[in-house]
Amino acid sequence: MRLHRFLRKGSTIKQDPLFNVVKNLLGFSPKDISLFRRVFTHTSMEETDMMGKKINYERLEFLGDAVLNTIVATHLFQKLPENNEGSLTLMRSKIVRRAFLNQIGEHLGLINHLSSNVPAKNYGADVHGNLFEALVGAVYLDSGFQACSQFVHSCMIDPYVDLTKLQNIVLSYKSLLVDWFQKNRKQYRYEVTKDDSAEDISHYKAKLWINNKIVASARATNKKKAVEKVSKRAFFQFQHQIKSITTRH
């Protein structure tokens, strides 16, 4: 009787349309499809379980972030035996950066399976990466760390992570420039002002002064983005001189 109920339950799971979606994504069959239903449930659905707890991908996203960091850290620890803690931490940051995770989530087409009550244009720029982290969290709970690690390697690390190319990726142009300014005793200052215009969305204008001369300016929708944008523009003016310290940023 128990075997009959187990087989009937397994059959029911396989009949769930989400089962094949998840199986195709992972390359193996999920055990608890309810975990993956959370992955593809947006907060706007306002769903709750029998205990009144919210059903969406946010908690799984939190867990997936931690698991993903561990998987990437293990990979770097094994592949870069000569690198110190600081270098390994920087390399991990370059791999798990939001822009890269967004690319992975978009490549997997995760957003195509998301249940939501809001238009896709209102999801936010990071929804792809958020869903990928939630998926990693669900795989970890469903199948364990080893299976989760294999999944991350197959869909992200093996096809897209090139440790040699990562050396040249800059996470913070401002940090890189400030380091270079200080080492070369250059006087610098950032000037950020609100850019009043007829546009509906507020913008900020950033200027970078070096030795009392404006070397670059840029606009963005917030102060942090404006400063990073102007720093990137200035970087390309001095990149040949700065190249020697890029591996630290």
Question: Which residue matches tokens 């250059």?
Answer: 186
Please state, in angstroms and rounded to a whole number, the distance separating the CA atoms of residues 168 and 174.
Answer: 15
Active site residue 65: yes
The answer to whether the beta carbons of residues 204 and 192 sit under 8 Å apart is yes
Given 16, 32, 47, 65, the catalytic residue:
65
- E strands in the chain: 47-48, 54-55, 188-195, 203-210, 213-220
* C-beta of residue 230 within 8 angstroms of C-beta of residue 207: yes
d(CA 245, CA 249): 8
Given a contact cutoff of 8 angstroms between Cβ atoms, the answer to whether 153 and 106 are in contact is no
- Which residue type sits at 146? Q
54-55 and 188-195 as β-strands: parallel, antiparallel, unpaired? unpaired
Residue 150 to residue 154: CA distance in whole angstroms? 6
58 is catalytic: no
User: Considering 61, 133, 142, 228, which one is annotated as catalytic?
Assistant: 133
> Where in the sequence numbering do the catalytic residues fall?
65, 133
